[in-house]
Amino acid sequence: QCRFLFPDNLLGISWVDSSWIPILNNGSVLDYFSERSNPFYDRTCNNEVVKMQRMTLDHLNQMVGVEYILLHAQEPILFIIRKQQRQSPTQVMPLADYYIIAGVIYQAPDLGSVINSRVLTAVHGIQSAFEEAMSYCRYHPSKGYWWHFKDQEEREKTKPKAKKKEEPSSIFQRQRVDALLLDLRQKFPPRFVQQKPGEKPIPVDQIKKEPEPAPEAVKPEEKETVKNAQSAGAKGPPEKRMRLQ
């Protein structure tokens, strides 16, 4: 079974044959890798020549060309196979590495592919951050530039508004207001008056004016006593005579 993620890139390919998984070991892993349906296997390699001639893998050291060897094994989970170019019995040049995990074969990425992937990921993240930051930027000719964030609006909506402290009015303000109210009351007198709270207002014309009390009659005797008291208070107390001893 072969899964293709990127057809032109072997780094996006994985291959597995579930029938081989129970019998994978150090002796059978190269035969598993040399299956014809494996896209990582090159059929022009020396391993295919040795297999067709029914020779052992030790004869690979005496040949020149592309070959596959078992580089590392950790049964039954991990196997690493190297593809290399043999130039002499003692000189080889690595071409690619493949790792098998639980029967699934992957190609190990080279250093250039790793750096390229990391750089593209970093550039994509930076570009996305700049685009998101520009979406919050605002400009107005009178204000200039500022930041407008959505979560700031939500915090302002949920945040309870603090009540502003009312400053006491000054004497000048109170006097001016009283003077204006008095002036308005003289120009526009009220037409209805509510004598008591809760009662229906009554027109001013229907209010009965109470008669003023008449001055009480004063008796002539009381008048004389009042006059004597007033004259005595005006003259003052009698002077005391000095007694002769």
**HEC sequence for 226-243:** HHHHHHHHHHCCCCCCCC
Is the same domain home to 78 and 126?
no
Structural domains counted in the chain? 2
Whether 223 maps to a domain, the answer reads no
Q: How far apart are CA 79 and CA 106, in angstroms?
A: 11
* Residue 231 lies inside a defined structural domain of this protein: no
> Residues 25, 97: one domain?
yes
Considering the domain architecture, whether residues 37 and 99 belong to the same structural domain is answered as: yes
| Domain end point (choices 141, 163, 189) | 141
In a domain, 149, yes or no: no
Residues 70 and 18 in one domain: yes
Q: Are residues 25 and 86 in the same domain?
A: yes
Are 58 and 127 in the same domain? no
**Residue 51 sits in the same domain as residue 128:** no
The residue type at 73: A
User: 53 vs 47, 48, 57, 59, 88, CA distance in Å?
Assistant: 10, 9, 11, 11, 21
In a domain, 93, yes or no: yes
- Residue 147, both tokens: 């930041």
Q: Assess whether 36 and 72 both reside in one domain.
A: yes
Range of the structural domain that residue 131 is part of: 110-141
Question: Are 103 and 122 within one domain?
Answer: no
57 shares its domain with 130: no
Residues 6+ apart with CB under 8 A from 105: 14, 15, 16, 33, 38, 40, 98, 99
Q: Residue 113: its pLDDT value, please? A: 86
Given this model, what pLDDT does residue 45 score?
Answer: 93
On whether both 75 and 115 belong to a single domain, the answer is: no
For the chain, the distance separating the N- and C-terminal CA atoms, rounded to the nearest angstrom, is 158
Whole-prediction pTM? 0.49
Average pLDDT per block of 10 residues along the chain, 245 residues long: 52 90 92 92 92 87 92 92 92 93 92 90 93 86 82 66 68 77 82 74 69 54 55 51 48
The whole-number pLDDT of residue 245 equals 44
Residues 74 and 130 in one domain: no
Q: Does residue 116 form part of some domain?
A: yes
The CATH number of residue 65's host domain is: 3.10.450.580
Q: Per the domain annotation, does 1 fall within a domain?
A: no
Residue 123: both structure tokens together: 């550039």
